[in-house]
Amino acid sequence: MSTTDLEILQRALLRERKARKAAENILEEKSRELYSITQQLKEANEKLQSGLTEKTTELQGVFDNLVDAYVLMDLGGNIIKLNEAAKELFGYDVPKEAVNVVRLIYKEDFNYAMLSFNLLIETGSFSDYIARVYTKNKGVRWVHINASIIKNSKNKPIGAQGIVKDITDQRAIEQQNNKLVQDLEKSNEELAEYAHIVSHDLKSPLRSINALVNWLREDYKSILDDAGLENMRLIEQTLEKMEHLINGILNYSSVNNIAVLKHEAVDINSIIKEIENTIFIPKHIKIIKKQNLPVINGDKTRLQQLFQNIISNAVNYIDKEIGIIQISFEDKKTHYLFEIKDNGIGIEKEYFDKIFKIFQSLGNNKNSTGIGLSIVKKIIEIYDGEIWLESVPKVGTSFFFTLKK
């Protein structure tokens, strides 16, 4: 080998060595890069992992802690998943035990269940399904179910999920309440019925006494003196008062009888007109409508009773030479506010509450039984209203009341 060749080889070797070192450096650099990238990836992965775990735990928490039972099933009715509440309700530990929902449907509710299932398939959901189910440990329970279809990403139905509420206790309470309400209605009705019978029994003797007094006067006219005749007149007056009282009680007891309440459009203007024709209004008293009065939905008899009782009260207690009873109203969105104002004797403030209580008659008026205003209050309560008054003794009184539209 010549020196030149040797030199060439040496140079080639040198180049190789240099290239190798360069390559090693590059590789080392790359490995460092790789290592740090790997580290970063690892961290990112860990973060993702913990994030995912967090989300999953969160969801699991929500799922488990749902107060209502959650049931997930396939389209064949096989239960895939139950949350804790559902396991507790039905008593099955899915997926350890295989359960089909058909097994849970109460025999008599089967047709209803199938109809609801068809609805679910056709429309994608059903709500307010209320029926009975068999449970493993709790016997037959009443449940309320809202359910919807679950679709895959291709919009194909793959299963159904439902929120199941155990309403057994709630139903029992509702039924109990319904029964109570029914009983109450019945006893109310019986009470009204009873009032009629009692009032009849009370009224009959009054008629007899009246007849007997009448006959005494007729048959013994010649031997009765003025004092005797006056006493007989007083007996008759007392009988009238008694009759009035009995009728008052009868009216009061029948106000509550909601069963006979009608719901019709009642023109208050025509009610006032009718009252003017019904009760005796002396010539010196005028009833003035400040404006045209509204039409109210309600029972005509009751509404007339309401206005009539207040107006006749006003009429009875007017002591002025010219009596004025003014009726007006304001539209208060949900209610009408009425005012019936008179220039009568007025009422002392201490009696404001008392006058609405039954048998509380303030004056010694023979037409007053003390029942009229308590009936008024009862009627107003039926129409979700309130009644109050403003009064200045010797000047006059304003009754305010609201009636629901």
> Which stretch, 17-25, 44-52, 304-312, 313-321, contacts another protein (CB under 8 A)?
17-25
**Distance in angstroms (rounded) separating the CA atoms of residues 119 and 113:** 10
Candidates 197, 223, 227, 265: give the one binding another protein (CB under 8 A).
197
Does 19 bind another protein (CB under 8 A)? Our answer is yes
8 C-beta neighbours (distance < 10 Å), count: 12
Tell me whether residue 33 or residue 348 sits nearer to another protein (CB atom).
33
Tell me whether residue 197 or residue 223 sits nearer to another protein (CB atom).
197
Does 37 bind another protein (CB under 8 A)? Our answer is no
For another protein, the binding residues in 282-301 under the rule CB under 8 A are: none
Minimum Å gap between C-beta 229 and another protein is 15
Tell me whether residue 215 or residue 220 sits nearer to another protein (CB atom).
215
Candidates 74, 84, 236, 390: give the one binding another protein (CB under 8 A).
236
> Which stretch, 97-105, 161-169, 199-207, 329-337, contacts another protein (CB under 8 A)?
199-207
**Distance in angstroms (rounded) separating the CA atoms of residues 389 and 396:** 11
**Distance in angstroms (rounded) separating the CA atoms of residues 105 and 90:** 11
Does 220 bind another protein (CB under 8 A)? Our answer is no
**Distance in angstroms (rounded) separating the CA atoms of residues 355 and 314:** 13
**Distance in angstroms (rounded) separating the CA atoms of residues 261 and 298:** 8
DSSP-based three-state secondary structure for 376: helix
**Distance in angstroms (rounded) separating the CA atoms of residues 313 and 327:** 14
Candidates 68, 84, 88, 240: give the one binding another protein (CB under 8 A).
240
Among the listed residues 262, 329, 316, the one whose alpha carbon sits nearest the alpha carbon of residue 290: 329
Say how many residues make up the chain. 405
Who's near 148: CB < 8 A, 6+ residues apart?
120, 124, 125, 160, 161, 162
Tell me whether residue 247 or residue 360 sits nearer to another protein (CB atom).
247
Does 308 bind another protein (CB under 8 A)? Our answer is no
Does 233 bind another protein (CB under 8 A)? Our answer is no
**Distance in angstroms (rounded) separating the CA atoms of residues 191 and 185:** 10
Minimum Å gap between C-beta 140 and another protein is 43
Tell me whether residue 68 or residue 243 sits nearer to another protein (CB atom).
243
**Distance in angstroms (rounded) separating the CA atoms of residues 254 and 189:** 9
Candidates 83, 116, 199, 374: give the one binding another protein (CB under 8 A).
199
Which residues is 126 bridged to in the sheet? 147
Does 5 bind another protein (CB under 8 A)? Our answer is yes
Does 102 bind another protein (CB under 8 A)? Our answer is no
Query: Distance between terminal CA atoms of the chain?
Result: 125
Minimum Å gap between C-beta 45 and another protein is 21
Which residues sit at the interface with another protein, rule CB under 8 A?
4-5, 8-9, 11-12, 14-20, 22-23, 26-27, 196-197, 199-201, 203-204, 206-208, 210-215, 236, 239-240, 243, 260
